[in-house]
Structure 1
């Protein structure tokens, strides 16, 4: 692993046809970078965009007099390969894989840099977020279970506390040697979350930090991977916690508890996506069945894959859930601790 000692943090942004969002993203970074610009590098990997991404980058370089390391692919190599490529180009001690559409808080570096310089040599820094739609309306706090502003924990306590929340890429910074260590743990059935598995397994034996206050605004424009979202979450995430259980006993049971009890709407909302595109998901039926936490959910999955009335009900549930959240923008249950 090549490291440039002058860089404490590498902000690596994989992008594709998001020039408008990317510009706003980079403006939020560059406008507050003056005090730490010598220890931060910014890398943008353009996956052969057909919009004006390149010109937007050049304009920002000129405006802020900061050298953004822009790399344009000659052809689209896919999201996973683009993430791998940009992470390999990073040279800093810490790696921040940042989504091209998200926006950092105006005091991001003021808060984060001292933790990166912490004598505990933290492996992972995860922070809370606000989530909204593409135009930043109806923003809400992701984690409202306050138990202190910031806490340094060993990796076991940390993952029980945050569970899958760092699967939102823009909310987690990882020490780059830990990220590299995690490569050897990657498996094919970690669908869509190979980078997340690197963070999980790379943190084993290390100290991690959770920061409760939101430091990033998560926007939700259309996403190219949304077609596979149910596969990523139901199989990929489950497989990671299944294997992580070897190092953190009980974490897989906690994952099941989370899906069935404290995040009931989320679990069945994602499961209902299978009903909407059952013909596509039938090819993954055995893996989806294995990921189901109990007999009841296996029966539900079988029905929505093979019975048309169940698919109609599942699709209706999904639409009703979306309408409910748009109208009320909150859940009517209290999330419980997984400890």
Structure 2
């Protein structure tokens, strides 16, 4: 039996979150679509009660497939395994601490049915607080956008292909490149596969409607520290984009420019505001960024000033922002409602 859509969840020690995700999915799989959608969970030998939670759902919902490893094989192998056990024509990888927003599955199925020539669908998101009680940020896309040119896709979305829950894709396109098992250990093997799919010429449709909710301040890769986390992004995106598109390609430059503008800036900001950016951290980050981004203007005009700014100044600026600009925006949105 082939499903239309496989929602694939790689997980490890996310018992505190995966119940929310499974509830958000199963409540949307109504009797009229239960033969069209499956859930695939790949458990990387979790040491908490993830197994018990998933099996409690599996006992009720027969469309759930649960695979559990005997030992942790790393994030990349878990991504690949979650997709490997899928039987759907389309696959939606899902981070186990995210949730599906109401009507996300029915919306996804409508797009799959209508746009059969699209290889990848990029989904819109809403950021919530860590407890999922309140929305914090939403990307305000007004209309759907279709990109058929690989260069345009990379220009618009190149640095976002590391977000697990952000894309729905045709399984056969993924399988063509997953078999090579490249960049295992980088935490961005999925990014490599997406880049190869795009390079081959797959069209992408960016869905304006938000389908996924994610938690702010819940980055599992931060458990190894702030410097290893920022290095993961810098080295991963640089090496993968250079391998796929070429070190001197426009795509490689655009991806690095986007990473240094958004990801690197945000990682540094988080480290400083959490009092984790001591002098040693700042020196190491400067050296790393200089090595990879010395020819990128955003490093000099955006990241470097942040690296050298004292923590108390940023905390004061955040306080003022929350008391004035953010409050004004909240009042404006409240009045509009």
Offset at residue 234 of structure 1 (A): 1.9
Choose 176-185 or 18-27, whichever is displaced more: 176-185
**1:247: how far off?**
11
Q: Secondary structure at the match of 1:164?
A: helix
CA distance in 2, matches of 1:14, 1:161: 26
How many residue pairs end up in the alignment? Answer: 316
Match of 1:210 among 190, 206, 210: 206
Give 1:46's aligned residue. 43
Q: Does 1:155 align with 2:156?
A: no
Residue number among 182, 195, 201 corresponding to 1:200 in the alignment? 195
Q: Using a 3 Å threshold, how does the CA distance of structure 1 residues 85 and 315 change in structure 2: closer, same or farther?
A: farther
TM-score, with structure 1 as normaliser:
0.76
- How many Å apart are 1:293 and its aligned residue? 4.4
Match of 2:254 in 1: 254
SS at match of 2:151: helix
Residues 96-142 of structure 1 show CA distances to partners (whole Å, capped at 9, x for unaligned) of 11000111111112111122234543211101101123112452444
- 1:131–1:217 contact (8 Å) kept in structure 2: yes
Unaligned runs of 5+ in 1: 305-309, 333-339
Contact 2:268–2:307 (Cα < 8 Å) also in 1: no
- Residue correspondence of structure 1 range 293-332 to structure 2 within 5 A: 293-294=294-295, 313=309
1:311 Cα shift? Answer: 7.3
Instruction: Name 2:164's counterpart in structure 1.
Output: 169
The aligned residue for residue 113 of structure 1 is 109
RMSD, matched Cα: 3.9
- Residues 58 and 65 of structure 2 are in contact (CA less than 8 Å); yes or no, is this contact kept in structure 1? no
What's the CA shift string for 1:188-207, capped at 9, x where partnerless?
7x932121120121122111
Give the equivalent residue in structure 2 for 1:131. Answer: 127
1:70-117 Cα distance to aligned partner (Å, 9 max, x none): 122212222222222222222222221100011111111211112223
| d(CA) in 2 for partners of 1:90, 1:277 | 45
* Cα deviations by residue, 1:292-334 (Å, 9 ceiling, x for unpaired): 142788889xx99xxxxx978576677668767776669x9xx
Q: Decide whether the 8 Å contact of 1:185 with 1:198 is kept in 2.
A: no
Aligned equivalents of 2:49 and 2:308: distance in 1? 41
Change (3 A) 1:231 1:277: farther
Shift of the 161–324 alpha-carbon distance from structure 1 to 2, 3 Å rule, reads farther
Contact (CA 8 Å) 1:104, 1:215: kept in 2 or not? yes
Q: For the structure 1 residues 119 and 321, does the alpha-carbon distance in structure 2 shift closer, same or farther, using more than 3 Å as the test?
A: same
Distance in 2, Cα, partners of 1:317 & 1:165: 30
List alignment gaps of at least 5 residues for structure 2.
330-337
1:79 corresponds to 2:75: yes
Whether 1:21 aligns to 2:22 is no
